[in-house]
Every structure is written in structure tokens, then in C-alpha cells.
Structure 1
Amino acid sequence: MPTHFHAIVWIDHSQAKVFHVGRSGDDEIVMHPHLPTKHLHHKAGSIGSGHAAPDKEFLAQVMNAVSDAGEILIIGPASAKTEFAKYLREQHSKIGDRIVAVEAADHPSDREIVAYAKQYFKIAPVRTASAGGSGRG
């Protein structure tokens, strides 16, 4: 079980990566939707947007992964990030209230996601005491 206050979620329609980050390190959870991503083709004159509806089971799975976080940053390409934020705010407002931002991000590496979260949340690395003295002078 994660023990960090901050969480960052990178999400698109084919997967979600959740990182709980803190001064002492980070934990990663990767999730995939139960159903494969559907590609719909919208034809002129047809009814509807031509977009597949969000996979609510997938969004619930990601929500469970961040349910204990105190602050949640959601990033990702396209519309999945805003769909997830909307899902949290409408279906689970106590968790949705902990969203601090929803931002665009293409396909960063895991290391880049964690670095961005630490910079966003202003999490400094743990510093060890140097062996050279107290630094007082």
C-alpha cells in the first residue's frame, strides 16, 4: 500500500500509470482497461460524436489506486485525462476534490513522469549529512 501523500497519474485510453511520490522514493502501478480500445469512425450526417465512451471499470480501477493520495496531479495526451478528472469529480467528489491540476503530456518516460511530479509538488530529495563537519562557522 502506498505511503506517499502525492500521486501523479499519466493516463490515456490504453493504460494508466500511477506514481505515489515522496522524499523517500516512489511507487508505480500500471493498469490497462478490461476492454480493448475501440476506434470509431465518424461519418458525416450520423448521430453521435464518433468517440467511444470512457471505460468506467478502468476509471474505477485508477481511482482506487489514488484513493489514499492527499494531492493528485493528472497528466496525459488527448481526452482521457479530462475524462478521468470528470469521473472523479462527479462520481467520487471526495477524491475529485484532491485533484490539484490536469495537464497535457505526450508520452514521457516513467523517470520523466516522476521528475515532473517531484518538481510540481516541490519534493526535494532527502539530503544526507556530510562527514565534513556541522557547517557552522
Structure 2
Amino acid sequence: MSLFHAVVWLDHHSANILQFDAEHVQAEKVKAHTHHTKQHGSAVRSEHEFFADVCAALNGIQEILVVGSSTAQKDFKHYVEKHRAALVSSIVGYESVDHPSDKQLVALARQYFLKHDRMAGVPTPT
């Protein structure tokens, strides 16, 4: 089931993706790959693989709010802009938050999207 809105909480090790509408919430977790090698750039390669998996999980979602640490958001935004340009228009905002529960994330996202959709003059889908 692909829903219209999603909120993604992420750090550099995992992502919690919650797709939702007025009545349903669908959760998916994505974990980072760990490659412990002495090869130069292996950490960057691992991060790119992780961010690619997160982007794949977000494919087809119309409006996405990305939350988490500011550092992880900045790195994810840079990755998306450089490697997944088609996803840029679906990401409507970035917000720094700590470690909220799934219910808190969905409540935050619902408030955000209600405000965002009203400002854009777009009715919120139900």
C-alpha cells in the first residue's frame, strides 16, 4: 500500500519510514550496511548504499518530511540532490528532532503536512 504522506526519521545508522493517511500507518525500517575495511572511502560508500536504500523505500510517495539529527539530514539532502534528483520535489521539508516514538512522529508529520498543504493551497488527501 502506497500512501500519500510519509515521515522519515533518520540518523547515519537507520531510518524509520512511516507512511500514513487519516486512518492508516505503515512502518518500514532501513538499516545501514556496515563494511569494516581499511579501504579509503568505505564509510562514504556504506553511507551512499544506506541512503540509496532509504530513497528506494520512498519511491512513489508524493510528500515526504525528513526528520532526525541535523547532520544526518544535511548528508541525506546532499545525497538526494546529487544522486536522486527525481526525489527532491517529493521532499517538502526537513526538521530536527530527537528520538520520538512512532505516534509522536506521525502526529508531528500530520501537523506539518496540514500546515504545508494549506500554505501551498493544496487540499490534504484523505
Note whether the superposition's TM-score is higher than 0.5. Answer: yes
Match of 2:120 in 1: none
**1:65-88 CA distances to partner (integer Å, 9 max, x unpaired)?**
111111111000141112112211
Determine if the alignment matches structure 1 residue 16 to structure 2 residue 8. no
Q: How many residues align?
A: 110
Identity of aligned residues (%): 33
Q: 1:105 aligns with which of 76, 94, 97?
A: 97
User: Moved runs in structure 1, 4+ residues, more than 2 A?
Assistant: none
Question: Residues of 2 paired with 1:27 and 1:114: CA distance?
Answer: 10
Name 1:72's counterpart in structure 2: 64
Q: 2:100 aligns to what SS in structure 1?
A: coil
Deviates more, 1:115-124 or 1:14-23: 115-124
Letter of the 1:116 partner, please give it: L
Change (3 A) 1:121 1:36: farther
Distance 2:14 2:84 in 1: 21
* TM-score, L = length of structure 2: 0.78
Match for 2:25: what amino acid? D
- Aligned CA RMSD, in angstroms, stands at 2.2
**Conserved 8 A contact 1:89-1:97:** no
Task: Tell me, yes or no, if the aligned pair for 1:21 and 1:117 is still in contact at 8 Å.
Answer: no
2:110 aligned residue (118, 125, 130): 118
Please list every run of 5 or more consecutive structure 2 residues that lacks an aligned counterpart in the other structure: 37-42, 118-123
Q: Which residue of 1 aligns with 2:121?
A: none
Relative to its length, the structure with more helix (as a share) is 2
